Amino acid sequence: MSAPITPEFIRAIPKTDLHVHLDGSLRIPTLIELADQDGIPLPATDEAGLKEKVFKPHYASLPEYLQGFAYTCAVMQKAENIQRIAYELAQDNLEEGVRYVEVRFAPQLHCHDEFQLADVVRAVADGMDQAKDEHNRSEPVKNGTDIPFEYGIIVCALRSFNEHMSDYYRKLLSLMSYARKKEVFATASLEIARAGVAMAQKEGIPVVAFDLAGEEAGYPADDHREAFGYAHKHFLRKTVHAGEAYGPESIFQAITDCHANRIGHGTFLFAHEMIQNPMIEDPEKYTRLLAEYIASQRIAIEVNLTSNLQTTPSIKSVAEHPIRQMLDHNLSISICTDNRLVSNTTVSQELELLVSEIPITRQQLRNIVISGFKGSFYPGSYNEKRRYVRQMINRYESLERELLG
């Protein structure tokens, strides 16, 4: 009988995080320090107080879960603050064995007259580059006992926003005061897509994908079709938050109308009872065909267990999470954190939760971890990505022999 999967092994192996929001992943001491420095009031000025009042183990609803972002975004209005936060995020990932990260954020949440969209993206890249350079110059990487750290940037558009969320959104809503709201939202999305393409192709910044986040119900991804079309025609990969709080139709739309290469969450992929379109005569068949299509096309799903448990009251445990169905359908999945601070988690903790709650074999764990690397939007060439994945597999197998026998 093979040795059981241990926390030590999970922590040691090279891992990915393909779905992690920068503004949901600050260190609490850093948040407190930056808020004090910039004169931003917080509900508490110590870590215990913030964990009690804002960043809780459990949340009553999605709105409560999202409250903390008002405070984190407030301290992310300067290049030096964002650079530090990005650097610390990379350090935290490195410390637990994560070797590839795709950090996502909505640059327009941090824009104002003195801090433009491109400045936000460059600040994140500067912080990530600092941590990357430090790790990749280390002796373990040089002698081959560790693998290099790599990262990509995913720029996020929002399905909807209001004037209170940032100076950028306030001005855009004012300038387009006679337009329909969905046209304003679509305009902001197109600007993000254009910026992402330009920074990736002209400046060499590793912007690897365009994302759409925010409330699904009432704000369909189809409204942002032009932005996704622009990204698609300019070779920028696409991922969409879909099936997080809405049914299979939202995932279908993300794939067909937005050319999604990956799906963020996909929690309600199998929830045929949530289908609302009366033209779909057989919801169960529709859902089955959708899952088969996703599997056959290797459209990866970014799974966030703890986050889903915190924001979806109908899912009371990992055993009730659709990840078991995803595995049974041989979907390509990666285990992600979503928000390291807000969900109080790490990639290692997410994998440990999976292993402890749903019996999976060592081979299944290996496949899941490798899927994270293979499903990544690696910023280099395809051949470079293949070599990197091979390095990762070699390291994984070496640790498996050493720690599990």
For 259-272, how does the pLDDT look when each residue is reduced to its tens digit (9 = 90+)?
999 999 999 999 99
For 36-69, how does the pLDDT look when each residue is reduced to its tens digit (9 = 90+)?
999 999 999 999 999 999 999 889 877 889 899 9
Backbone dihedral region for residue 280 (phi beyond 0: left; psi -120 to 50: alpha; all else: beta): beta
Confidence at residue 1, expressed as pLDDT on a 0 to 100 scale: 45
Q: Which of 205, 211, 222, 198 is nearest to 123 (CA)?
A: 205
Q: Rounded distance, CA 262 to CA 294, Å?
A: 9
Confidence at residue 217, expressed as pLDDT on a 0 to 100 scale: 83
Q: What is the mean pLDDT of residues 158-164?
A: 96
Q: Higher-confidence residue: 215 or 187?
A: 187
Q: Which of 129, 121, 262, 254 is nearest to 196 (CA)?
A: 121
* C-alpha torsion sign, points 266, 185, 25, 61: negative
For 26-38, how does the pLDDT look when each residue is reduced to its tens digit (9 = 90+)?
999 999 999 999 9
144 CB-near residues (< 8 Å, 6+ apart): none
- Rounded to 5 degrees, what angle do the CA atoms 271, 272, 274 make? 75
For 280-289, how does the pLDDT look when each residue is reduced to its tens digit (9 = 90+)?
999 999 999 9
Does the structure show a pLDDT above 90 at 399?
Answer: yes
Confidence at residue 256, expressed as pLDDT on a 0 to 100 scale: 96
Q: Rounded distance, CA 82 to CA 73, Å?
A: 10
Q: What is the mean pLDDT of residues 329-335?
A: 97
% pLDDT > 70, the chain:
100
Q: Which residues of 355-383 are buried (b: 16+ CB within 10 A; e: fewer)?
A: bebbebeeeebbbbbbbbbbbbbbbeeee
Map out the domains of the chain as residue ranges: 7-403
Q: Which of 244, 348, 229, 258 is nearest to 301 (CA)?
A: 244
Q: Rounded distance, CA 129 to CA 150, Å?
A: 9
Q: Which of 316, 315, 246, 240 is nearest to 274 (CA)?
A: 246
Query: Token pair for residue 273?
Result: 């009872």
Q: What is the mean pLDDT of residues 113-120?
A: 95
Which residue type occupies 76?
Answer: M
Is-catalytic flag, 244?
A: yes
% pLDDT > 90, the chain:
93
Q: Rounded distance, CA 316 to CA 320, Å?
A: 7
Least confident segment among 109-118, 242-251, 345-354: 242-251
User: Which of 244, 249, 302, 400 is the catalytic position?
Assistant: 244
Q: Is 3.20.20.140 the CATH number for 7-403? A: yes
For 73-84, how does the pLDDT look when each residue is reduced to its tens digit (9 = 90+)?
999 999 999 999
Does the structure show a pLDDT above 70 at 315?
Answer: yes
Q: Which of 176, 67, 167, 155 is nearest to 103 (CA)?
A: 155
306 burial type by CB count under 10 A (0-12 exposed, 13-18 middle, 19+ buried): buried
Q: What is the mean pLDDT of residues 219-223?
A: 94
